[in-house]
Amino acid sequence: MSPFLSAIAATAVLLAAPVVLAGEVPGALVTLEVATPLPLGYVPSALPSRFVLLEDGHVFVGGTSQMAAGRLDKAEVQSLEQRLLLVRKLPGLAAVIAFGDAPSPRFHLRATRSKLDLVVTGDPAAGRAPVGHS
Contact, 84 vs 114, CB < 8 A?
yes
93 or 104, which is more confident? Answer: 93
Mean pLDDT of 99-105: 70
Residue 48 in domain: yes
pLDDT tops 70 at residue 25: yes
Average pLDDT taken over every residue of the chain:
74
Number of domain units in the chain = 1
Residue 41 CA to residue 93 CA, distance in Å, equals 36
Residue 74 in domain: yes
Residue 85 in domain: yes
Full domain range(s) for residue 43: 23-126
Residue 52 in domain: yes
Structure confidence at residue 132 (pLDDT)? 53
* Contact partners, residue 87, CB within 8 Å, separation at least 6: 93, 114, 116, 118
pLDDT band at 14 (very low <50, low <70, confident <90, very high): very low
Residue 9 in domain: no
Cα angle value 64/67/70 (rounded, 5°): 150
Structure confidence at residue 78 (pLDDT)? 92
Nearest CA among 103, 116, 25 for reference residue 62 = 25
* Contact partners, residue 103, CB within 8 Å, separation at least 6: 121
- pLDDT 10s digits, 30-84: 888 887 777 788 777 777 788 889 999 999 998 767 889 999 999 999 998 888 8
Contact, 57 vs 72, CB < 8 A?
yes
Mean pLDDT of 97-111: 76
Structure confidence at residue 74 (pLDDT)? 93
% pLDDT > 90, the chain: 13
102 or 108, which is more confident? Answer: 108
Residue 94 in domain: yes
Residue 7 in domain: no
